[in-house]
Amino acid sequence: MNIMLFGAPGAGKGTQAKFLIEKYGIPQISTGDILRAAIKAGTNMGLEAKRFMDEGKLVPDSTIIGIIKDRLAESDCKEGFILDGFPRTIPQAEALELLMKEMGISLDRVISLNVPDELIVGRITGRRVCPKCGASFHMEFNSPKVEGICDYCGDKLVQRKDDTAETVVSRLDAYHTQTAPLFDFYTERNVMSEVDGTKDVSDVKEDIFKILG
């Protein structure tokens, strides 16, 4: 099953991807992850991406699509995959559609996690992470036993630079301008399904499972 998770940053895509991985045994494909993996592995596309990054430039869509092509061709994607955080623009969606057509595959379902902006700001700005072990907490929904201290290793929790209110609002603005139009793009292709992302995590999971059957 080929699935795409769609929604604003902080809507819960990463959390739901983990449930889908457990249920269907298919890999999550996050552009950030596969970009880092391609660079580390020294693939042709990875080296191309590194060249742009070393020059302080954005990695072009053509290179990202090339890296995704390499990833989709790997054996663990034969039974399906979960796209998370890509595509982000209409041109990327069109390029992905062309690539998948060439590979003889298509998206079975796009799941849109709908969460209002004001709730997303609260979700992200309340997030705290452990720089030592990587554990993640939330000051309201998943608070540590001792305020500001990691439950697992005892290190001091920090707020990521990306998780400040100013940065979150900026990211949401970019999402609404560049990425939100993809909702209509995939609705026109009859693969879009909507889920209320404000529900409890387990309820969102069950709603997604019902859609996917």
Look-up of token digits 């929604």: 7
Q: What is the pLDDT of residue 162?
A: 85
CATH code at position 105: 3.40.50.300
- Cβ atoms within 10 A of the Cβ of 129, count? 16
- Cβ atoms within 10 A of the Cβ of 118, count? 9
Q: What is the pLDDT of residue 76?
A: 96
User: Is 84 inside any structural domain?
Assistant: yes
User: Is 54 inside any structural domain?
Assistant: no
Q: What is the pLDDT of residue 85?
A: 87
Q: Cite the active site residues.
A: 13, 88, 127, 160, 171
Peptide bond into 87 cis (omega under 30): yes
pTM score above 0.95: no
Q: Which residues of 21-46 are buried (b: 16+ CB within 10 A; e: fewer)?
A: eeebebbbbbbeebbeebbeeebebb
User: Is 106 inside any structural domain?
Assistant: yes
**Contact criterion met (CB below 8 Å) for 24 and 1:** yes
Q: How far apart are CA 82 and CA 107, in angstroms?
A: 10
User: Is 31 inside any structural domain?
Assistant: no
User: Is 85 inside any structural domain?
Assistant: yes
User: Is 38 inside any structural domain?
Assistant: no
Q: What is the pLDDT of residue 141?
A: 81
Report which secondary-structure segment, H or E, holds 32.
helix 31-41
Q: How far apart are CA 136 and CA 204, in angstroms?
A: 20
Q: What does the CA dihedral 7, 12, 15, 20 come to, rounded to 10 degrees?
A: -40
Q: In whole angstroms, what separates CA 128 from the centre of its chain?
A: 19
- Cβ atoms within 10 A of the Cβ of 122, count? 17
Output Rg (C-alpha) for the chain, integer angstroms. 18
Can you give the residue range of the structural domain that contains 192?
Answer: 2-26+79-115+173-212
User: Is 104 inside any structural domain?
Assistant: yes
Residue 209: partners with Cβ closer than 8 Å, 6 or more residues away: 23
pLDDT tens track, the chain, 213 positions: 999 999 999 899 988 999 999 999 999 998 888 988 999 999 999 999 999 989 988 899 999 999 999 999 999 999 999 999 899 999 999 999 999 999 999 999 999 999 999 999 998 999 999 999 988 899 988 899 999 999 999 999 999 888 999 999 999 999 999 999 999 999 999 999 999 999 999 999 999 999 998
User: Is 196 inside any structural domain?
Assistant: yes
Q: What is the pLDDT of residue 32?
A: 83
Tokens matching residue 118: 């004001």
Query: Which backbone phi and psi does 109 adopt, to 5 degrees?
Result: -160, 135
Question: How many domains does the chain divide into?
Answer: 1
